[in-house]
Structure 1
Amino acid sequence: MVYTGVLTKMQTEFLEPIQYYLVFENDFIHINQLLNKSIDIKRVGYQCLSCGLDRPIFRQGFCKTCFFEKPLAGDWIMRPELSTAHLGKEDRDLEYEKKVQLQPHIVYLANSSNVKVGVTRKSQVPTRWIDQGAHEALEIVEVPNRYLAGITEVALKDHVADKTNWRTMLKNEIKDEDLLEWKQSLKKYIPEEALPYFIENNKETHLHFPVEKYPEKLKSLNLTKTPHYSGKLVGIKGQYLIFEDNTVFNVRSNEGAVVELQV
């Protein structure tokens, strides 16, 4: 069976284990069903996720023009402390920025390779944790806009990591942590404006991924450099496909590639 479409990040369901889906314009693939099967991936072009044109992808699935001009790629996406919609100030498109920034956001702790702090819209819990390959996570504060979440993350990352070691995450070299204890120890560093939104009573969320074999020595597949690859799928974690030969493929970092996928 051959499927053709534009890569976007895998859609997920929070089940036991996590369920993964690739969604193309005319096809829908349940990736869990492909475990222990050989998959052939071939890049046949590009399609910017914003303008839809066949242009080389610059970052985040966008061509260079769209990355620097469209609101979907504003600096506040990666750095939420730069959000200004709560002040009525436009970055690239105020209406879009209000829609995204002026909604409940969560500052959380997640343990993928180590304990880290992060920010996501409340509507993206637990999707954000799944995408990061976290095996446990816990909300710290729930604030009414992205700016408050951003300044809280900035304050906390002086005392806890804000990055995931993707190699450690994929090798499953992890240990359980007491995130409730971490939360309480970090409380004193939360900015005064966000402290009223501290979540006093909650429990850790635990996530389990469909992986039959973890890689030992990682080989990262990038379709720009290697447009054609075949291998046996043995796991899915975060936004990565894990193959039997230790090749790992980050679907999200290859967004915008037009592929032919043969099973």
Structure 2
Amino acid sequence: MQYQGVLNKMQTEFGNPIQYYLAFKNSFIHFNQLLNKEIQIQFDGYECLHCGKEKKIFRQGFCFDCFNSSAEVGDWIMRPELSKAHLGIEDRNLVYEQKVQLQPHIVYLAVASDVKVGVTRKTQVPTRWIDQGASYAVPIVEVPNRYLAGITEVHLKGLFTDKTNWRKMLTNEIMAVDLFDLVLKTQDKLPTEVIPYFEQTNHEVLHLEYPVEYFPTKVNSLNLDKSPFYSGKLIGIKGQYLIFDDNTVFNIRTYEGYKVKISI
């Protein structure tokens, strides 16, 4: 059976374990059903997720021109403390920025390898944690806009990393910590204007289970630009990665905008 289309991040459904789906224009793949099966991946060109043109992907599924012009990839996406929609100030498209920035956001702790602090829209919980491959996660504080979440994250970066060690995540080297206790210790480190929201936040720790037959002891990342064809037996899915039995891992998110043929 062969599927063909443009890669976009896998859609997920919370469960025990997480369910993973790769959606194409006219079909989809339920990867959980393909564990222990041989899968072939063939690179077949590019298609920008924004303009739809067959142009080389620059970053995050966008061609160079779209990445430098689209409101969907403004600097405030990666650095929420730069958000200005609450002030009525436009970055690239104020209507879009108000829609995304002026809604409840969660500042959280997640453990995919080490303890990481991060920011996400409330509507993206637990999807954001699943995409990062977190084994467990907890909200620190819920705030009404992205700016407040951003300045909170900045305050806490001295205590926690803001990056996930993807190699440790995929080999299941997970730090054992009491997340609830860590959350309590952040309260006096929060920005003054954020502290009132702390007591209103539900600090429930969420555990996540992934469909992995067994974890590799080391991993090598598949690069479609250098290796346009790959074949291997799928043994797991975690974060946005497919894990194969020869220690190869494939990050679907990295190759958004790449056209592929996938054969089962």
Q: TM-score range by the shorter chain?
A: over 0.9
Corresponding position of 2:231: 230
Corresponding position of 1:257: 258
Distance 1:125 1:223 in 2: 30
Corresponding position of 2:117: 117
Conserved? CA contact 2:233–2:245, under 8 Å? yes
After TM superposition, the score normalised by the length of structure 1 is 0.98
Deviations 1:112-145 (A, max 9, x none): 0011100000000000000000010000110010
Secondary structure of 1:69's counterpart equals coil
1:188-207 equivalences under 5 Å are: 188-199=188-199, 201-207=202-208
Distance 1:142 1:203 in 2: 12
Distance 1:247 1:201 in 2: 38
1:47-126 equivalences under 5 Å are: 47-126=47-126
**Is 2:155 the counterpart of 1:170?**
no
Deviations 1:238-261 (A, max 9, x none): 000000000000000010000000
Corresponding position of 1:37: 37
Percent identity, aligned pairs only, is: 65
Which residue type is aligned with residue 14 of structure 1? F
Q: Unpaired segments of 5 or more residues in structure 1?
A: none
Corresponding position of 1:136: 136
Corresponding position of 1:220: 221
Distance 1:201 1:104 in 2: 14
Corresponding position of 2:179: 179
Once the two structures are TM-superposed, the CA of residue 201 in structure 1 deviates from its matched residue by 4.7
Conserved? CA contact 1:210–1:237, under 8 Å? yes
Distance 1:202 1:57 in 2: 39
Deviations 1:188-209 (A, max 9, x none): 1100111111145532100000
Distance 1:100 1:262 in 2: 37
Secondary structure of 1:54's counterpart equals coil
Which residue type is aligned with residue 184 of structure 2? Q
Which residue type is aligned with residue 16 of structure 2? E
Distance 2:46 2:177 in 1: 41
Once the two structures are TM-superposed, the CA of residue 187 in structure 1 deviates from its matched residue by 1.2
Conserved? CA contact 1:213–1:244, under 8 Å? no
Runs of 4+ in structure 1 displaced over 3 angstroms?
none
Once the two structures are TM-superposed, the CA of residue 175 in structure 1 deviates from its matched residue by 3.2
Deviations 1:197-244 (A, max 9, x none): 114553210000000121122110021221110000000000000000
Distance 1:29 1:169 in 2: 24
Distance 2:170 2:136 in 1: 15
Distance 2:255 2:149 in 1: 28
Moved more, 155-164 or 85-94: 155-164
Distance 1:219 1:122 in 2: 33
Q: How many residues are treated as equivalent by the alignment? A: 263
Q: Unpaired segments of 5 or more residues in structure 2?
A: none
Moved more, 70-79 or 200-209: 200-209
